[in-house]
Amino acid sequence: MSEPSPLLPVLDVRPVPDAADVFTAPNLPGWRPRLFGGQVLGQATVAASRTVPADRPVHSLHAYFLRPGDPDVPVHFAVERLRDGRSFSARRVQALQNGVAILSGIASFQSPAEGLEHAEPAPDVPEPEELTSDLELLDAVDHPAARQLGRGRLTDVRHVEPAIYLRPGEERTAQQAVWMRLDGTLPDDEVVHRAALAYASDFTVLEPVLRRHGLVWATPGLSVASLDHAMWWHRPARADEWFLYVAQSPNAGGARGLSTARVYDRQRRLVASVAQEGMLRLP
């Protein structure tokens, strides 16, 4: 049996003593000079979920990244109970460091219900076993930052199109597909799996913008930062099993790029949708 996912302690969001609806959790170990946005998204999802009945899962989160986070400073998540209706609940959640907000968002929760059903089909792509892991690609780069990136994500990432860490794609296309799976196993807790999907959703979402313009992550002077992030969970899915992340960029302008993405499980069911706008500046 696989070992528990090393991401699990990071998603172990717990109440702060003597502080109503305030939670905290550890940061990812030294991976980047600033907090990874996906970590804060995942933890905010768990924190808000802890104030809602377990039979009312999160179905959407809309968040703004307000400031860079410091990986050496604990993050506190203050949750405000906006509404509890017969079917839906809404929560505002603020991620705070030293009393200052680094992320602000609103999450919505819904009791299970029957209704209309349809979904955009998944593209026809190779299976993850047919692709090279990004970990293998980054380990081959003679630079400690590359190896740290590959291992620090705690996720197996496999690009369908060639990865754009060092070399641009052969085509300047504004779309790509990536298989992902969390390292290790996660418990049978829907909150944890939805939070883990939120965590992973921030890895490659802006790459279609770079790919469209023939850029790579190693472009000298390139500055990229997430501005806002929206996610909708449609169906239950496990983040410790392979899921397909299909992203495309409809627009770039004003030093910003927009990407949207669809998330499919191994059975090609659409399980989530994502949208993110990021700042992209060149020297």
DSSP 217: T
Among candidates 173, 171, 166, which has minimal Cα distance to 259? 173
Selected catalytic residue, list 39, 97, 226, 248: 226
Residue 262 near residue 269 (C-beta atoms within 8 A): no
Structure-block tokens of residue 125: 């792509």
Residue 159 has phi, psi (to 5 degrees) of -75, 135
Catalytic residue check, 223: no
Catalytic residue check, 175: no
- Cα 58 from chain centroid (whole Å): 15
Catalytic residue check, 226: yes
Among candidates 50, 113, 57, which has minimal Cα distance to 81? 50
CA distance 39 to 226: 13
Specify the length of the chain in residues.
283
Alpha helices, H only, 72-186:
134-139, 144-152
Selected catalytic residue, list 202, 259, 265, 273: 202
CA distance 174 to 4: 36
Q: What is the per-residue DSSP string for 33-55?
A: SS--HHHHHHHHHHHHHTTS-TT
CA distance 53 to 36: 28
Would you please indicate which residues are annotated as catalytic (active-site) residues?
Answer: 202, 226, 276
